[in-house]
Amino acid sequence: MTPPAYRARLTTGIVHFGPGAFHRAHQAHYVDRLLEHDPRWGIAAVSLRSAGTVEGLRRQDGLYTLAVLDAETSYRTIGAHNRFLGPGEGAAVRQLLGDPAIRIVSSTVTEKGYCLAGDGTLDRSHPDIVHDLATPDDPVSIVSWIALGLGDRRRAGTPAFSTLCCDNMVANGSKLGRAVEDFAREIDPDLARWIEGEARFPNTMVDSITPATDDRLRAMVREASGSDDAIPVAREAFTQWVIEDSLQQGAEQLRGAGVTFAGDVAAWEKAKLRILNGAHSTLAYVGSLIGHATVYDAMCDAPLASFVERLINDDIIPGLQPSPIDLRAYAGEILQRFRNPAIEHKLSQIAWDGSQKLPYRLLDTTAAALNSGRSVKGLAIPVAAWMHFIRRRADEGQEIVDPLRDLLVAAARSEDPVTAFLSLRQIFPARLTDDALYAVEVRSAWNAIGQRGPEAAIALAQA
> Could you give the CA distance from residue 238 to residue 70 in angstroms, rounded to a whole number?
9
- Contact between 284 and 383 under an 8 Å Cβ cutoff? The reply is no
Residues 285 and 267: their CA atoms lie apart, in Å, by: 26
Query: Environment class of residue 250 by beta-carbon count within 10 Å: exposed (0-12), middle (13-18) or buried (19+)?
Result: middle
Query: What are the backbone angles phi and psi of residue 164, rounded to the nearest 5°?
Result: -115, 105
Asked whether the beta carbons of 32 and 65 are under 8 A apart, the reply is no
Q: What pLDDT sits at residue 119?
A: 82
Model pLDDT, residue 118 = 77
320 CB neighbour count, 10 Å cutoff = 19
Strands 260-262 and 233-236: unpaired
- Respond yes or no on whether the N-terminal peptide bond of residue 322 is cis (omega within 30° of 0): yes
Q: What is the DSSP string of 23-70?
A: HHHTHHHHHHHHHTT-GGGEEEEE-SS-SHHHHHHHHTTT-EEEEEES
Asked whether the beta carbons of 397 and 301 are under 8 A apart, the reply is: no
At residue 350, the pLDDT reads 95
The pLDDT of residue 274: 97
Give the per-residue pLDDT at 149: 98
pLDDT at 404: 95
Identify which of 256, 206, 259, 261 has the alpha carbon closest to the alpha carbon of residue 36.
256
What's the pLDDT score for residue 9? Answer: 96
Residue type, 45: A
Q: Which H helix or E strand runs over 164?
A: strand 162-165
266-461 falls under which CATH superfamily? N-(1-d-carboxylethyl)-l-norvaline Dehydrogenase; domain 2 (1.10.1040.10)
Q: Are 359 and 300 in contact (CB under 8 A)?
A: no
Tally the C-alpha atoms within 13 A of residue 341's C-alpha that lie toward its C-beta. Answer: 3
Q: Which CATH number among 3.40.50.720, 2.40.50.100, 1.10.490.10, 3.20.20.370 corresponds to the domain 5-262?
A: 3.40.50.720
Strands (E), 310-424: none
Rounded-to-integer distance, Cα 162 and Cα 393, Å: 41
What is the 8-class DSSP label of residue 3? Answer: P
Domain ranges, ordered by start, for the chain: 5-262, 266-461
pLDDT given at position 1: 86
Positive or negative, the CA dihedral 400, 404, 407, 408 is negative
**Residue 346 and residue 293: Cα distance in Å, rounded?**
6
| Per-residue CA distances from 228 to 66, 68, 222, 232, 299 (Å) | 13, 18, 6, 9, 33
175-200: string of b/e by CB count within 10 Å (b at 16+)? bbbbbbbbbbbbbbeebbebbeeebb
Q: How far apart are CA 392 and CA 289, in angstroms?
A: 9
Q: What does the alpha-carbon distance between residue 94 and residue 145 come to, in Å, rounded to a whole number?
A: 8
The DSSP bridge partners found for residue 163 are: 105
Determine the Cα–Cα distance for residues 13 and 102; give it in Å rounded to an integer. 4
- Looking at residue 249, its pLDDT comes to 62
Q: Please give the pLDDT value at position 135.
A: 97
Of 166, 124, 167, 158, nearest in space to 144 by CA: 124
pLDDT at position 448: 96
Exposed / middle / buried, residue 432 (Cβ in 10 Å: 0-12, 13-18, 19+): buried
Mean pLDDT in each 10-residue stretch from start to end of the chain (463 residues)?
94 97 97 94 96 96 96 95 96 98 96 89 96 97 98 97 93 97 97 97 95 94 94 96 82 82 90 96 98 97 97 97 94 96 92 94 96 96 98 96 96 97 94 94 97 92 75
Q: Is 165 helix (H, G, I), strand (E, B) or coil?
A: strand
Distances (CA, A) of 19 to 16, 43, 139, 200, 248: 7, 10, 19, 22, 23
